Structure 1
Amino acid sequence: MRRDTRGNTLAMAAAALVPIAGMIGSGLDMSRAYMAQAKLQNACDAAALAARREMSGSVFDSDVRTEGERFFDFNFPSTTMNAQNVTRTVAQSTSDDTIVEVSASADIPTSVMALFGRDSISISVSCEANQDYGNNDIMVVLDVTGSMNSAPSGGGASKISRLRTGAMGLYRALADTPNTRTRYGFVPYSMNVNVGGILRTRDILRTTFYPQDEDGDGDEEYVGVDINETEWFDDGSSRGERIRAWRESGQACVEERPTIGNSYNDGDFDIDLTVTQDDIDQIASAWNDVDRQYGRWDPDENEYDDDGWCPSPATRLSTYGNETAFQDAVNDATAIVAGNTYHDLGLVWAARLLSPTGINASRNPTEWNGIPVAQHIVFLTDGDLVPTSSNYSSFGNWNFNRRLTGSGGQESRHIARFLSACSAAKSMGMTIWIIAFDNVDTDEVEPCATSSGHFYVTDGTDLEDVFERIGAGIGRLRLTQ
């Protein structure tokens, strides 16, 4: 038989079929196991990120664990690859309480390898996630118009009281973050903004022109009123000192200035619908740079119609050491609730106070401790943009001044200016978050948000949760393993 080799190939091939089949089959089984492990890793990552996003600061509770488990189960259902003995653990790191750790394992049944006594392949994964907060400057823009005093459409506490409570969610989501700095500023707005205390004396007109009926014949005309001709005459020995006293009065709302490139002509000037970075950043170069100065909002001097409301003062970016201090700042910003709704005022002034290249350039560095600073605007409103034809706003009196250029009605012009200001702020690197509270025309405000993920609608019952989710979004999530 050793000499007769005919047919040996067939015998050898037949003998090799069993190990070859085993090799091919084990390869298929291993391929299924690798695919299952990849799915298990994806589920692990999703669970870690979801759980970390749910955490407030370093607080890990049952809600955090449940959220992580929910995302794991969604991404790795029990039927995945016929997996058996699936386990998952969502926990807080014992070495760093800001980190979420997730581990998972499963047994993947085999097909061919089972013929050789290997019924399953065990797989396991682990991952962890942290919140990469970095440094953040956040301007909180709050609609404090008269409608905020009413209850939302679903009833209950007033919208302004819900705002005061809910805004704490933003602070809590970003609190207790080591080696970072988060600053908050506030811009309460209605038909005016109270920013005189933040501006410099040189940014204010010495002489502001108001519509007055000097002849008593019923015809209004522009009349210049110097700061020396006002109640502030006794507050200082110079015009500059008197302007400063007005600025520090707490009632220093301002009239909007001409668009950069347009000229101030004794109260008669144009404000364009397009807002550029120059409109946000440029400031007066001297006390007589009238084209870049703001008028003193003064209903006592404006005889055309002296109705109007000046909200609480806006505030510069600042850190808050605890919840009480932040709550006090929110309460102060929302102390005065009245007037009509001018979204463009709130957005433009938020950008002006947030910009690292404008009026607060020396206070708003682009880096802190060598780490970049991200700029965010959180904008909340409960209503549509509703200007007024006769009442006195930062744009003067519509029926007399008509300072806002363009075609269409007053409302459409302000909406166009608002959306232009949003685009300008975003082009400067600012991230805009919009909260539409109760009865808001979302088509009017949603385009302002940086993306659909930066836009929220609430009836007020979950307002604190909305602010927390924004805070979680500002603190960027990242996988650390």
Structure 2
Amino acid sequence: MKRLARDEGGNVLPLFAAGIFPLIALVGGAMDISIAYMARSKLQKACDAGVLAGRQSMTGTQFGDSEKDQAKKFFDFNFPNGLYNTKNLKFNVAQNSSAASELKGTASADVPTSLMRVFDYTEISISVSCNAKKDLGHNDIVMVLDVTGSMNDNPSTGGGSKISKLRTGASGLYRALEANDGSTTRYGIVPYSHTVNVGRSLRNRDIVVEQQYVDGYFYQNRGRTYFANNGLKTVHINQSSWNIGNGGGNSGGNRQGFRTSGDACIEERASNGYSSNPIEYADTVSLEDVDGVPANGNDSAMQFGRYDPGVQNGHTQDGCPSEATTLREYANETAFNNAISNATARVTGGTYHDIGMLWGLRFISRNGFFASDNPETRGQYPVNQHIVFMTDGKLDTGPSLYSAYGVDWLTDRMQGSGTQTQKHVNRFESICTLAKSMKVTVWVIALDVTNVDDIKKCATSDSHFHTSDGSDLEEIFETIGRGIGNLRLTE
């Protein structure tokens, strides 16, 4: 018995038997907890994706079944049922009762254990919460809208003219941004064709008094039409179509009468650094071209001309779109829709993208003509700037069309290389590049356009470019509205 008591042989077996259960607990617990941790991390990402998708799909602060379905779809995609062998998977999302612009979500599941079952721990419960909202921020949006003659045509899908679809579809943008959360959204509207009607938004000193126009007349010879070009003539504003005296002379008409006539379309001023007599335009646009203002009422090089078909000779087509409006708030959707209808009332002329985009940028610039009305912040919150540019066609510069750049075939004001149309394309692209360098987000809608090469690159990115056949225009405006603002997670 004494020898047996001193014998140490065979002791490993009982020691192993005694230590196997703590070892199983240690290894099994680590493995099961590791799996549960990975499952919880994946569940959190799925919850975040769900509330972000739900919030992104909301129009304004409206949250219903379709938005819930969108949130659920993104949650299910990121955490499929049965992932990590989970059971009792649940996801719930709802609007925050105290902040309608915020969504709150919760997700939970049970992760089965493996080795820990030995100790009667069959599952580990995991749960997460997630919130998403759009930051309180203010938005300034200038809508640059094509109102050229082709907008009276029906799109390829039919169902009414393109201009009628624009008038009803633009409301989608307003609805998507309508929110009672303390933020402010302002809209400017620039209808454009071959010129823009912006005189009412300017000051008297911004309009030139003595202006050069083409002098001459058309005549027939052997069945063909010719133009007798007598060069340029200088017309004082008193002799313009807005002369209150209606007969010339040096009294009666004035800049105020022109600006408030309702027909105050403009001829664009000369490019910075180029001749202003006669006028010359560069095929690129500089910051000074956008923001430079006349020093006084006699600074003719920095002033805009009067678009006056009554005194301009040598053209076969003209027209003045409806008045543009600078950035302002609208009390409700009806007021916004009325503004769109008024801005698109006149559908006429050729397609000069560059003049529309240039004035859209002037309206939203934080320097220049409207600097005092375009602050960087309101209160402590930033003001985000956007241009929504919509057109139904390629840039089209008819040679005998009287545009904001004069009568091309007679005045030849555009400088640069290539065709007249290519010069204007270059100018348009230059304005788009300048807008993006000024941190203005540019959205582009191509309405029933087959060739988008000239306009797609104007957008800030591919995700800011949209095409429409006319039937989905309202949905596209809503999509743009949902994309404006800063969407973020709050938990």
Q: Using a 3 Å threshold, how does the CA distance of structure 1 residues 118 and 424 change in structure 2: closer, same or farther?
A: same
2:286 pairs with one of 269, 272, 276? 276
Is 1:164 aligned to 2:199, yes or no?
no
Structure-to-structure mapping, 1:184-195, within 5 angstroms: 184-195=187-198
Q: Distance in 2 between the 1:357 and 1:135 partners?
A: 18
The aligned residue for residue 83 of structure 1 is: 86
Amino acid of the residue matched to residue 154 of structure 1?
T
| Cα displacement (A) at 1:134 | 0.5
| Cα displacement (A) at 1:6 | 4.8
The aligned residue for residue 180 of structure 1 is: 183
Amino acid of the residue matched to residue 186 of structure 2?
R
Is this contact kept in 2: 1:235–1:242, CA < 8 A? no
1:261 pairs with one of 273, 285, 288? 273
Is this contact kept in 2: 1:384–1:440, CA < 8 A? no
Q: Distance in 1 between the 2:18 and 2:412 partners?
A: 97
Is this contact kept in 2: 1:204–1:296, CA < 8 A? yes
Is this contact kept in 2: 1:381–1:440, CA < 8 A? no
Q: Distance in 2 between the 1:93 and 1:397 partners?
A: 59
The aligned residue for residue 480 of structure 1 is: 490
Q: Distance in 2 between the 1:209 and 1:175 partners?
A: 47
Is this contact kept in 2: 1:129–1:480, CA < 8 A? yes
Deviates more, 1:422-431 or 1:176-185: 176-185
| Cα displacement (A) at 1:21 | 2.7
Is 1:438 aligned to 2:441, yes or no?
no
| Cα displacement (A) at 1:333 | 0.7
Amino acid of the residue matched to residue 425 of structure 1?
A
Deviates more, 1:237-246 or 1:193-202: 237-246
The aligned residue for residue 106 of structure 1 is: 109
Q: Distance in 1 between the 2:38 and 2:458 partners?
A: 42
Is this contact kept in 1: 2:445–2:466, CA < 8 A? yes
The aligned residue for residue 257 of structure 2 is: 245
Structure-to-structure mapping, 1:401-440, within 5 angstroms: 401-440=411-450
The aligned residue for residue 134 of structure 2 is: 131
Q: Distance in 2 between the 1:287 and 1:238 partners?
A: 17
Q: Distance in 2 between the 1:428 and 1:213 partners?
A: 43
Is this contact kept in 2: 1:188–1:333, CA < 8 A? yes
Q: Distance in 1 between the 2:196 and 2:251 partners?
A: 23
Is 1:144 aligned to 2:147, yes or no?
yes
Q: Using a 3 Å threshold, how does the CA distance of structure 1 residues 205 and 2 change in structure 2: closer, same or farther?
A: farther
1:279-313 deviation digits (Å, cap 9, x = unpaired): 11001111121211111111111111152111001
Amino acid of the residue matched to residue 145 of structure 1?
T
Aligned-partner SS, 2:61:
coil
Aligned-partner SS, 1:92:
strand
Q: Distance in 1 between the 2:175 and 2:38 partners?
A: 40
The aligned residue for residue 296 of structure 1 is: 306
Q: Distance in 1 between the 2:251 and 2:374 partners?
A: 29
Q: Which blocks of at least 5 consecutive residues in structure 1 are unaligned?
A: none
The aligned residue for residue 463 of structure 1 is: 473
Q: Distance in 2 between the 1:173 and 1:240 partners?
A: 48
Is this contact kept in 1: 2:101–2:181, CA < 8 A? no
Q: Percent identity?
A: 47
2:71 pairs with one of 46, 68, 73? 68
Q: Distance in 1 between the 2:157 and 2:243 partners?
A: 50
Aligned-partner SS, 1:453:
helix
Aligned-partner SS, 1:478:
strand
Aligned-partner SS, 1:64:
helix
Is this contact kept in 2: 1:299–1:307, CA < 8 A? no
Structure-to-structure mapping, 1:327-338, within 5 angstroms: 327-338=337-348
Q: Distance in 1 between the 2:352 and 2:434 partners?
A: 17
Q: Distance in 2 between the 1:158 and 1:231 partners?
A: 32
Aligned-partner SS, 2:475:
helix
Amino acid of the residue matched to residue 465 of structure 2?
F
Amino acid of the residue matched to residue 244 of structure 1?
Q
Q: Distance in 1 between the 2:244 and 2:233 partners?
A: 22
Larger radius of gyration: 2
Q: Distance in 1 between the 2:160 and 2:462 partners?
A: 29
Q: Distance in 2 between the 1:33 and 1:39 partners?
A: 10
Q: Using a 3 Å threshold, how does the CA distance of structure 1 residues 317 and 238 change in structure 2: closer, same or farther?
A: farther
Q: Distance in 2 between the 1:417 and 1:103 partners?
A: 52
Aligned-partner SS, 1:90:
strand
Is this contact kept in 1: 2:141–2:388, CA < 8 A? yes
The aligned residue for residue 54 of structure 2 is: 51
Q: Distance in 2 between the 1:238 and 1:247 partners?
A: 18
Q: Distance in 1 between the 2:279 and 2:254 partners?
A: 25
TM-score, structure 1 normalization: 0.95
Is 1:31 aligned to 2:34, yes or no?
yes
Is 1:208 aligned to 2:211, yes or no?
yes
1:41-81 deviation digits (Å, cap 9, x = unpaired): 11111111111112222221111111111111111111321
The aligned residue for residue 95 of structure 2 is: 92
Q: What do you get for the CA RMSD once the two structures are aligned? A: 2.0
Q: Using a 3 Å threshold, how does the CA distance of structure 1 residues 187 and 335 change in structure 2: closer, same or farther?
A: same
The aligned residue for residue 360 of structure 1 is: 370
| Cα displacement (A) at 1:115 | 3.0
Q: Distance in 2 between the 1:215 and 1:190 partners?
A: 25
Is this contact kept in 2: 1:255–1:297, CA < 8 A? yes
Q: Using a 3 Å threshold, how does the CA distance of structure 1 residues 207 and 8 change in structure 2: closer, same or farther?
A: same
Aligned-partner SS, 1:221:
strand
Is 1:12 aligned to 2:15, yes or no?
yes
| Cα displacement (A) at 1:245 | 0.5
Question: Which stretches of structure 1, 4 residues or more, deviate above 4 A after TM superposition?
Answer: 214-217, 235-241
Is this contact kept in 2: 1:277–1:428, CA < 8 A? no
Q: Distance in 1 between the 2:295 and 2:193 partners?
A: 29
| Cα displacement (A) at 1:178 | 2.0
Is this contact kept in 2: 1:305–1:392, CA < 8 A? yes
Q: Distance in 1 between the 2:251 and 2:83 partners?
A: 78
TM-score, structure 2 normalization: 0.93
Is this contact kept in 2: 1:262–1:291, CA < 8 A? no
Aligned length: 479
| Cα displacement (A) at 1:40 | 0.7
Aligned-partner SS, 1:130:
strand
Q: Distance in 2 between the 1:289 and 1:240 partners?
A: 22
Is this contact kept in 2: 1:37–1:125, CA < 8 A? yes
Q: Distance in 2 between the 1:172 and 1:463 partners?
A: 14
1:365-411 deviation digits (Å, cap 9, x = unpaired): 11212322111101111111111111100011111111111111122
